[in-house]
Structure 1
Amino acid sequence: MKAIVIIFAFTIVTVLGSGLTDEQKEKLKQYKESCIAESGVDPTVVENAKKGEIDVNDEKLACFLNCIVKKIGIINANGDIDWEVARAKAPSSLSQEQIERIQTNCQNVAGSGCQKGANLVKCFKENKSSVLH
């Protein structure tokens, strides 16, 4: 199955790789635009995050990231991480073992409000790098 990816919109793509269909790219673009509007984050901050400059102390960026992972379905309405969704949306470039390692390392991510989504994105990003090296 083609991946929509584990983390969040464009940064998810940057972190976990490409391989998205045009339809998936369009959906991610819609999520990005919607979450920028909902969170009030500066689009420049979002572009910097795309380059890997993720400031988890930026509340608006944290809310943007949280919004994205919720829209993708990785964090459900109750604020819990849905690992079945995350695993199903993992890119085909990751092996089951790599996905399991990321899940093991990120399953206890905590945070209240928007911070949980931001912490999850940060954990995915950090662990994605470690499983591919």
Structure 2
Amino acid sequence: MLKLKNYKIFVTLLVLIIAKNNLAVPEDIKEQFFNAIQVCATESGVDSDKIQNFLRGEYETASHELKCFVNCFANKMSYIADGEPQIEEMKKSFEKLPNFDMKKFDKATEDCKSQYTGADECEKGFKYMTCRRSIMEN
């Protein structure tokens, strides 16, 4: 059952992403995205304000809950599996989006592989995904 809090988080995230990138997100990605947001927000216990701040690029002082949310999201989206980044799964997902830039994707793949490090899985996933994000958005 959909909880109002999770629905608000999903809508906020999706609106921010679509507005920022002027994207027409395919239905299959919306559904996977929605499910990942709902599950990971609940599992990590992260506050929706912290998720919104993260999407605005404010993550230098990210809480452990936010790091776990990002790692969970990456796992649910199949961007990380079995403790390893899944480049082909990311590529399959991102290729469906308008304005996909393969050069940036390849640069992020190369530049961020050394960033998959940290004290725990949450930190590893967070560092890796934020590295990719910073390259893909610039």
Scaled by the length of structure 2, the TM-score of the pair is 0.74
Query: Structure with the greater relative contact order (CA < 8 A, sep ≥ 6): 1 or 2?
Result: 1
Query: Which residue does the alignment assign to 1:14?
Result: 17
Corresponding residue number in structure 2 for 1:82: 86
After superposing the two structures, state which structure 1 stretch, 42-51 or 87-96, moved more: 87-96
**1:20-45 deviation per Cα after TM superposition (whole angstroms, max 9, x unaligned):** 12342233122111101100111111
Which deviates more, 15-24 or 100-109? Answer: 15-24
After TM superposition, where is structure 1 displaced by more than 6 Å over at least 4 residues in a row?
A: none
Match of 2:41 in 1: 36
Whether the aligned pair in 1 keeps the contact of 2:29 and 2:93 (CA below 8 Å) is: no
> Structure 1 residue 94: deviation in Å?
2.6
Rg: which structure is higher?
2
State the secondary structure of the residue aligned to 1:107: helix
How does 1:22-61 map onto structure 2 within 5 Å?
Answer: 22-55=27-60, 57-61=62-66
Q: Which residue identity is paired with 1:32?
A: I
TM-score by length of 1: 0.76
What residue in structure 2 maps to residue 69 of structure 1? 74
Matched ranges for 1:104-119 at <5 A? 104-109=110-115, 110-111=117-118, 112-119=120-127
Query: CA–CA distance in 2 between the matches of 1:115 and 1:83?
Result: 19
Tell me whether 1:124 sits opposite 2:129 in the alignment: no
Q: Output the CA distance in 1 between the equivalents of 2:61 and 2:127.
A: 7
Q: Return the alpha-carbon distance in structure 2 between the equivalents of residues 23 and 103 of structure 1.
A: 24
Superposition RMSD in Å: 2.4
Any unmatched runs of 5+ in structure 2? 1-9
Cα distance change, pair 56–124 in 1 and its aligned pair in 2 (3 A): farther
Moved more, 111-120 or 51-60: 51-60
SS in 2 for 1:108: helix
Distance 1:82 1:56, change over 3 A: farther
